[in-house]
Structure 1
Amino acid sequence: MYILLALVAACALGIAAHFLIDGRELRGAALTPGIATVVTAALYTGLQWAGLGEDNVWLWLASILGGVVVAVVATLALVAARRRSDAAKTAALGI
């Protein structure tokens, strides 16, 4: 049940990251929070299976911050790829 707290925190931080990262017009509003939530769920579950209890601070820090960091890196990579793709298509069309 505590996993819901981690997921809500990761989603909220993912929403904040969405608005802080440039290039919002190139991606959907749910991309960054969605990635953060999915990665946090996987990390939280994996760390619980590894033996970390709900009272361990490393479970919370690693799962929440790890999910947000992965989401930010993935969003930056996707925005950069979209910009390169748009530039290549624009150049190919001669615009």
Structure 2
Amino acid sequence: MYILLALVAAVAIGVAVHFLLPRRGVRGVALAPSIGAAASAVVYGICTWSGLGEGNALTWLVTLIVSTLLAWVGTDALSRVRAARDAAEAERLGLA
């Protein structure tokens, strides 16, 4: 049941990541929270399956840090790719 708290925290962090990163116009508002939630679920599962308890602070620390980093890096990378492809397509169509 504690995994839900980790997921809610990761989604909230993902919302913050969305608003902190540039190029908001080329991505949806749900991208960063989705990446954060998915990463949080995987990392939390790995931590609990590896023997760390649900109440262990290390589980929470690793889960939140890794999900924040993956949300940040993933959102930034996807935004850069989308912006570059949009610019290339605009140039190809003669709109730039």
TM bracket, shorter-chain basis? over 0.9
- Secondary structure of the structure 2 residue equivalent to 1:29: coil
The one-letter code matched in structure 2 to 1:14 is G
Report the equivalent of 1:94.
94
* TM-aligned CA deviation for residue 94 of structure 1: 2.1
Show structure 2 runs of 5+ residues with no match: none
Distance 1:9 1:84 in 2: 31
1:61 aligned counterpart, secondary structure: helix
Question: Which 4+ stretches in 1 moved above 6 angstroms?
Answer: none
Query: CA contact under 8 A between 1:7 and 1:64: conserved in structure 2?
Result: no
The corresponding residue for 1:5 is: 5
Task: Give the distance between the partners of 2:72 and 2:45, measured in 1 at CA.
Answer: 21
Which one-letter code corresponds to 2:13 in the other structure? L
* Alignment correspondent of 1:73: 73
Aligned length in residues = 95
Cα distance in 2 for partners of 1:94, 1:48 equals: 53
Structure-1-length-normalised TM-score:
0.94
Q: Distance in 2 between matches of 1:18 and 1:93?
A: 29
Distance 2:21 2:63 in 1: 21
State how 1:4-83 maps to structure 2 within 5 Å: 4-83=4-83
Query: TM-score normalized by structure 2?
Result: 0.93
The alpha carbon displacement at 1:76 in A equals 0.4
Q: Which amino acid aligns with 1:61?
A: L
In structure 1, runs of 5+ residues without a counterpart are: none
Deviation at 1:78, TM superposition (A): 0.6
> What whole-Å deviation, never above 9, does each CA across 1:47-83 have from its counterpart, x for those lacking one?
1000001222110011112111101101100111011
CA-based RMSD = 0.9
Once the two structures are TM-superposed, the CA of residue 17 in structure 1 deviates from its matched residue by 0.8
